[in-house]
Structure formats: C-alpha cells, structure tokens
Amino acid sequence: MKRLVLKFGGTSVGTLEKIKKVANIVKKRFSESNEIIVIVSAMSGETNKLNEQSKMVSKNFDNKELDTLLSAGEQISSSLLSGSLIEQGLKARSWLGWQIPIITNNNYTSSQIVKIKTEEILNFLSKRGVAVIAGFQGISLENRITTLGRGGSDLTAVAIAKFFKADVCEIYTDVEGVLTTDPTINDKAKIIKKISYEEMLEMSSLGAKVMQPNSVQAAMIDNIPIHVRSTFLEKSGTKIISQNEIDYKNVVTGVAYSKNDAKVSLVGVVDKPGVAADIFEPLGENNINVDMVIQNTSSDGKKTDVTFTLKREDLSKALSLIEKNIKKLNYNKIIHDDKVAKISIVGAGMIANPGVTHKMFRSLANKKINILAISTSEIKISVLVQEDFTQQAVKTLHKTFGLN
C-alpha cells in the first residue's frame, strides 16, 4: 500500500463541476488501494478576491487579519471536496491548518512551517479515510492563523509529504506538466519527463509558474519525489527527482525568461578597493537583491563602469539610495533601463558538456540580438536582452539546443 499526497491547484477546483471531477480522480486513486491525503488550493480567483476586499477596507490591512481572511478560500474548497467524496461513498474529512495543527512561525503572510502533528490523520488513514487538507495555511505559536505566501498550497503538499513520509507528492494542475518553455510564446514547447530539483528551482524562479519556488526547494532538501500532472488529461506529466536519477541526453532541459528585471549602470566609478561594497551595501541593507553584476576593467586604472540588475519593483528605491550616496561613490552618471528581459537556458547536462556558452551567444548573435549582461551558474546561463527580443530569443535558443 502506497501513501500518496495529491495536491489540486485553484483551477482544478475552480468550479463545482471540477470539484466533482477531482473527487472522481481521488476515488480512483483510492480504489487502487492507496492511502490518500489530498491538499487543495482555494477555487481559482478566490484568494485574489479576498485580497482585493482587504484593500478596500484599509490600505494597511493588518497582516494577521489578512492571513485569517485569505485562508478562508481553502476552507471552502476543502469542505466542498470532502463533501463530494462523502457523496461518492468514501469516508472523508476536511482539516484546516489549525486543526491538525500545522504549526508555523509568526512570520504572517509568508510563514515557515515548523512542525506538523500526524497522529489524528494517520489514525484516520488507517481506518480507510481520505484526509482533505486546506493548503496554504497554518497556525502560529501565538495561536493565530498564518499563511505560507502566495502559491503556498504547493508548500503545504511538500511539507505534508515529508511529515507523513508519503511515497510521492503529486501536483495536479491545469497544464500537462513542466514544459521546456512557455507555450504561450513558443508553440514548440514540449513536456519535460524528468527534471531535477535544482533545474526545476531555476525554472520556477525564472518564471515557469507550475510550482512555487519555495516548495521546490523544500522538496529538494528532503528529497521528496514530485509528480506534476494534469487534472484534465490522462498524461504522464513531469517527475521532479534528484539529479543522479536522471540520465541526461540533452545539454539543456528548458528555456525560461522573466520580465521582472531592471538594469542599472554607474558610469565612471573610481576603480579602487571598497567601491563595489559602497555601491551594494546600502542596497543589501534595504533588502534589495542584486542579481547580475558586471564590472569592466578600467583601461587607465582609474575609472570603470559597474552594471547590475535587480527586480524592477526595486528600481526606484535603488536609484534613490545610490543618488543619496553620490559623494562617496563619485560616479560620472547613472543609466537605467527597465525594458529588459532575462533569458536563461537551464540544464544539469551542461555540467559535463563544454561549449554551451558560446553556442548560446552565437545563436543570439545570428538573430542580431544584443546581450546586455550575462550570469552563469553550474546548471544555468542567463543573458539580459532588450525586452522586445524575448520571444525571438526564447525561440532561437529552444531550437539551437534541440528542444523543438
């Protein structure tokens, strides 16, 4: 007998019809003699709606009240699904985060799970019950409802799989699985059958929206096998597993992009020790994350240019911090651009294959796409380009690396 965690996203439980369909899937899996714990998101649109309502009440809606409010969406979907399973003749019961309890820290609106109590649910499973758990929520040490950050039901699913020692955590969603790129900008996108946690983490941080990045990281730390699959089509989906279980034939697994970045250049900065620290220290102290950094070597040994990228939403704050610091930094001018996109190729196959970098650059050059900045890691190469070239860059790289 296998213990399965099945998580259904917001679109999978978006209507009553769909909830009945989900109940059929759960029933089928249960009849294959599995122990089943189901995690649900709120019906699609519900959390956004509640969030909007909070803003209409107050621009500074209290964080703890916000968590209580936002968690309501999952109370609705979990009870509707549980009721639907009972209607199908199964023994089912819903649990809210606080009832289990899923204990979190006091970091309201993006809490971390500390502990999950298992006895009651294990007992229920042993009596052939199907447990339905409201995703996204927990209870803090000071007895208030918390939420795990947007998209947090994925994290609930992974954490439940960990604490209940499930054999697998299946993420049911409205797409067939994880794709080699975004199908809305490239119709050649294909399903990735197996992907490592590390690659998936890169893909999801870079804009592939199938799973919340925190949940992928949690799965990686505890080696929880994930299976992403469609609620609506009988397809094999994508397995997210550890790198050493994958036999890499392709150098590149996927092409991702994001349009959330902006670029800043300080022109004519004095080239001496401590300058980079002076530029980036105030940003770090103000919680502004810097991503790519380029410093030219100064031809005369005196002045150089420093370029970096950061989240678009942090741009104006960063500019004012730098301008405040102009005396100390002593640059000639500052240039910024937020019409940029980051295009990345991701693949653990790169580790063993040299020559990927130049192949990527040549392929972009052939399309006359200029590279504004570059960053690399062991399994990823990212380039910054003008935003208008996003689609063309994704398409050409997808083809160049044999993913079409």
Under the rule (CB under 5 A), what is the footprint of Mg ion? 9, 151
Look up residue 207 and give its amino acid.
G
Q: Which residue from 379, 3, 1, 12 is spatially nearest to 228, judged by alpha carbons?
A: 12
Query: Which among ligand ASP, Mg ion, none contacts residue 42 (Cβ within 5 to 8 A by kind)?
Result: ligand ASP
Residue 319 · residue 305 · CB < 8 Å:
no
Q: Looking at the DSSP assignment, which residues form a beta bridge with residue 313?
A: none
Place of tokens 């502990």: 115
50: exposed, middle or buried (Cβ count in 10 Å: 0-12, 13-18, 19+): middle
Query: Which among Mg ion, ligand ASP, none contacts residue 97 (Cβ within 5 to 8 A by kind)?
Result: none
Query: Which among Mg ion, ligand ASP, none contacts residue 150 (Cβ within 5 to 8 A by kind)?
Result: ligand ASP
User: Would you say 10 or 138 has its CB closer to ligand ASP?
Assistant: 10
User: Would you say 102 or 275 has its CB closer to ligand ASP?
Assistant: 102
CB of 16: closest distance to Mg ion in angstroms? 20
User: Would you say 213 or 347 has its CB closer to Mg ion?
Assistant: 213
**Continuous H helices in 241-300:** 275-285
Query: Which among ligand ASP, Mg ion, none contacts residue 180 (Cβ within 5 to 8 A by kind)?
Result: none
Helix (H, G, I), strand (E, B) or coil at 244: helix
User: Would you say 98 or 136 has its CB closer to ligand ASP?
Assistant: 136
Query: Which among Mg ion, ligand ASP, none contacts residue 136 (Cβ within 5 to 8 A by kind)?
Result: ligand ASP
Q: What are the CB-based long-range contacts (under 8 Å, 24+) for 58-65?
A: 63/108, 63/109, 64/108, 64/144, 64/145
Backbone angles phi, psi at 203, to 5 degrees: -60, -45
CB of 9: closest distance to ligand ASP in angstroms? 6
Q: CA–CA separation, 208 vs 203, rounded Å?
A: 5
User: Would you say 204 or 400 has its CB closer to ligand ASP?
Assistant: 204
CB of 229: closest distance to ligand ASP in angstroms? 17
Give me the residues that bind ligand ASP (CB under 6 A), please: 10, 41-42, 47, 73, 135-136, 150-154
